[in-house]
Structure 1
Amino acid sequence: MTEIARIAAFRANGANRYGVVTKAGIVDLTPEFGSRFKGLKEVVEAGALEELIAAAAGRAPTYRTEDVTWQIPVANPEKILCVGVNFPDRNAEYKDGQEAPGRPSLFIRFPRSFTGHGENLVRPPESEKLDYEGEIAIVIGKAGRRIAREDAYDHIAALTLCNEGTIRDWVRHAKFNVTQGKNWDRSGAMGPWLVPFREAAQLDDVALTTRVNGEVQQQDRTGRMLYDFRYIVNYVSTFTTLVPGDILVCGTPTGAGARFDPPLWLKPGDVIEVEAEGIGVLRNGVEDEPC
Structure 2
Amino acid sequence: MKIISFTHNGTARWGLLQPDGIAPMDHLAPTVKSAVEAGLIASLPSDTKATLKPDEIALTLPLPDPGKIICVGVNFPDRNAEYKDGVEAPPNMSLFPRFPQSFTAHDQPLIRPPESEKLDYEGEIAIVIGTGGRRIAEADAWSHVAAATLCNEGTIRDWVRHAKFNVTQGKNWDRSGAMGPYLTPITSADQLADIRLTTHVNGELRQDDSTSRMLFPIPRQIAYISTFTTLHPGDIIVTGTPTGAGARFDPPRYLEPGDVIKVTAEGLGTLRNTVEDE
TM-score range, shorter chain: over 0.9
Question: C-alpha displacement at 1:61, in angstroms?
Answer: 4.0
2:40 equivalent in structure 1: 48
1:125 equivalent in structure 2: 114
CA deviation string 1:34-64 (max 9, x = no partner): xxx331111100011134x31x514134122
Question: C-alpha displacement at 1:68, in angstroms?
Answer: 2.6
Question: C-alpha displacement at 1:159, in angstroms?
Answer: 0.5
2:252 equivalent in structure 1: 263
Matched, 1:179 2:171: no
CA deviation string 1:172-207 (max 9, x = no partner): 000000000000000000111110001111111000
Question: C-alpha displacement at 1:29, in angstroms?
Answer: 2.4
Q: In 1, distance between residues paired with 2:180 and 2:230?
A: 24
1:7 equivalent in structure 2: 3
1:59 partner letter: K
Other structure's SS at 1:203 match: helix
Matched, 1:238 2:227: yes
1:7 partner letter: I
2:179 equivalent in structure 1: 190
| Percentage of identical aligned residues | 62
Contact 1:22/1:61 (8 A) holds in 2: no
> Which region of structure 1 is more displaced relative to structure 2, 217-226 or 73-82?
73-82
Q: In 2, distance between residues paired with 1:122 and 1:203?
A: 30
Question: C-alpha displacement at 1:104, in angstroms?
Answer: 0.3
Instruction: Indicate which of 13, 37, 41 corresponds to 1:17.
Output: 13
> Which region of structure 1 is more displaced relative to structure 2, 242-251 or 70-79?
70-79
- Unaligned regions of 5+ residues in structure 2, if any? none
Contact 2:24/2:50 (8 A) holds in 1: no
Matched, 1:155 2:151: no
1:62 equivalent in structure 2: 52
Other structure's SS at 1:194 match: strand
Matched, 1:26 2:22: yes
Q: In 2, distance between residues paired with 1:58 and 1:158?
A: 20
Using the size of structure 2 for normalisation, the TM-score is 0.97
Q: In 2, distance between residues paired with 1:284 and 1:246?
A: 23
1:109 equivalent in structure 2: 98
Q: In 2, distance between residues paired with 1:152 and 1:13?
A: 39
1:14 partner letter: G
Q: In 1, distance between residues paired with 2:73 and 2:211?
A: 14
Using the size of structure 1 for normalisation, the TM-score is 0.93
Contact 1:157/1:197 (8 A) holds in 2: yes
Q: In 2, distance between residues paired with 1:38 and 1:100?
A: 44
Task: Work out the number of aligned pairs and report it.
Answer: 278
Question: C-alpha displacement at 1:12, in angstroms?
Answer: 2.1
